[in-house]
Amino acid sequence: MELLALENVTIGYQRGRPLLPPVSFSVSRGDLVGILGPNGSGKSTFLKTLLGLLPPLQGKLRYASGRKPRLGYVAQDPRFDFAYPLSVLEVVLMGRVAELGLLRRPRKEDIAIAEQELGAVGLQALARKPFRSLSGGERQRVLVARALTGAPDLLVLDEPTSSMDVAAEHALLSLATALTAARGTAVVFVTHEISAAAEIARTVVLLDSARSYFAAGPVEELLTSASMSALFGNPVEVRHENGRVFVWLSASRGGSGGP
Helix (H, G, I), strand (E, B) or coil at 82: coil
Angle in degrees, 0-180, between the axes of helices 136-149 and 108-120, rounded to the nearest 10: 130
Q: Which parts of 139-168 interact with other proteins (CB under 8 A)?
A: 143, 146-147, 150, 156
Q: How far is the CB of 193 from other proteins (least distance, A)?
A: 23
Output the smallest distance, CB 86 to other proteins, in A.
Answer: 6
Considering beta carbons, is residue 22 or 130 the nearer one to other proteins? Answer: 130
Which range, of 71-79, 115-123, 206-214, 251-259, touches other proteins by CB under 8 A? 71-79
Closest residue by Cα to residue 157 from 41, 14, 43: 43
Q: 226 and 236 in contact (C-beta within 8 Å)?
A: no
Closest distance between other proteins and the C-beta of residue 197, in Å?
A: 22
What values do phi and psi take at 18, rounded to 5?
Answer: -70, 145
Whether the CB-CB separation of 245 and 223 falls below 8 Å is answered with yes
| 200 binding other proteins? (CB under 8 A) | no
Give strand pairing partners of 244. 241
Contact set for other proteins, span 98-117 (CB under 8 A) = 98, 100, 102-103, 105-106
Min dist CB 96 to other proteins, Å, is 9
Question: Is residue 204 a contact residue for other proteins (CB under 8 A)?
Answer: no
**Cα distance between residue 222 and residue 246, in whole Å:** 14
Distance CA 93, CA 108 (A): 11
Is residue 218 at the binding interface for other proteins, with CB under 8 A as the rule? no
CB of 85 to other proteins, least distance (A): 5
User: Should residue 52 be labelled a site residue for other proteins when binding is judged by CB under 8 A?
Assistant: yes
Residues found in the chain: 259
Non-local (6+) Cβ contacts of 178 within 8 A are none
* Binding segment (CB under 8 A) for other proteins, from list 90-98, 118-126, 230-238, 240-248: 90-98
3 state SS of 131: helix
Q: Is residue 51 close enough to count as binding other proteins by CB under 8 A? A: yes
**Which residues would be at the binding site for other proteins (CB under 8 A)?**
48, 51-53, 68, 71-75, 78, 80-81, 83-87, 90-91, 94-95, 97-98, 100, 102-103, 105-106, 130, 132, 143, 146-147, 150, 156
